Structure 1
């Protein structure tokens, strides 16, 4: 399933949940009802909040989806998306643009499901006695109050960042504003990390060969090859840093986790190598000098 780079993390996980559900239930394709329940299962998302507020029971919804489709034997791998679901994804992007949002969240997917009324989601909603108009009204009410999925995700992410990590991200945004280059990207982030003397990351980058002057000059002259959707890429990388911190058992996300996430991202790794960083040496330094062993 090719994912639009503008999808929020919750939207990505809802789509992944939809595919897993279709596979587990031995259905022959991923349909709109799978996506509806995938959104419901994605706790913490705006879409799940809307569906829960409408008193949709997750267990009952899952049972209804199971019997909406015939069993496939054998199950295709990977599962295709139905035409109805592809249309809903197209409409989700349209709904996002209509609100002037730069991301596609589960709230936009719900509006698209309510608008399309195609595929298994329409049958599922009828069975659950929930109308598309109810969904539409509830989503629009939240959006009119300024609640968006991205604001929820950002608040959660920022709450996990160390004070120094927050300062680094703010400095990257300020650097981008000074250069009049639009939103901050991973190139701005790398330069700020290199200059942040309060963090060990700065020393590690120098020891691993980063040519800070070349990076700074390229930013000023905008000679760095562009990467797709740099703002979305930066947000995705910060999400990965938060996940890595969780995996390592730390209660905060530090600049070391941010550097690790940057190095593990293909675009980030290419950027680091372009300006002289030895990735093997960098990973070794992060592992031994920055990140504590698990359980300590």
Structure 2
């Protein structure tokens, strides 16, 4: 099945990886041009209209005290602008969420606002959405820890003037506006932002929530109940799940970690060698794939030794790499195809990291498979251990 290849035609990232690899999630080369923040307003036609930097100036003005409360930092706003911004239809609660999301991006030294920052803003904001998340066990420090593990902090401080909104965050805002419209609410509140986040369902925030044991659909229905409304059917996606729509939250984290390994080595692609390092990182740290951890332990695989072995085969690149430059190598695309085949053969509903491990070792000519074989983790040995681990 060529699901992955078709989703990645022309070397263009698809699905969740497109977002992970283009949002500037990781730690290098944060010094982009300084410019006014540009966000966009959803119009009835679904397009985005350019809006000026006064959006975040207004949001920062409203929430400077709140930011100071946690960070000890107050951003001095410039003079007010008469320009009508796209978020005038947002109530104070929703504006505060966006301002707190910007603050979280600054704290992480990120130069964008992603769905993960929106989630952090929702948890920090004292509204209906925040209360529902807290009742589900979603705590601020847990979310920060998960985001830090998956994405990490940037190396250089970021200022508000550098921050832009990711395409997926723009989509969440479009969906929030739509949710308010469907509920006949005049203004968009934090509850609508949460509904938009849950409806979008594929960003880093969704993966974090799922990793904390939160059911997106259950939370959506609970929120509708709190609003005194029956939950409408989950809107159908425009397209059936592509290659990355099948990925579990751990597999989505794996892609981000593999990208981090590529950036660390100054490579402008994600190869199978980066995948096995990303798999290794999923066996340690804060958010661990327990099944994979057990399999790696039985195979005698450890991240430091794998990194050393990869470094001997593939030298570091000569210049720093930007996340937006990174593509998937042909071998990685093939590994994903094979992983999907493994998932289908086992009649499983999500593509897990162990499926990707099997996809790598099935390509004996790939660098990742060659490195694993150095440690005795041949295709037959890996399959034996995986089958035993999944059966147990």
Instruction: Give TM-score, length-normalised by structure 2.
Output: 0.35
Instruction: Give TM-score, length-normalised by structure 1.
Output: 0.46
Q: Name the structure where helix makes up a greater proportion of residues.
A: 1
Larger RCO: 1 or 2 (CA < 8 Å, sep 6+): 2
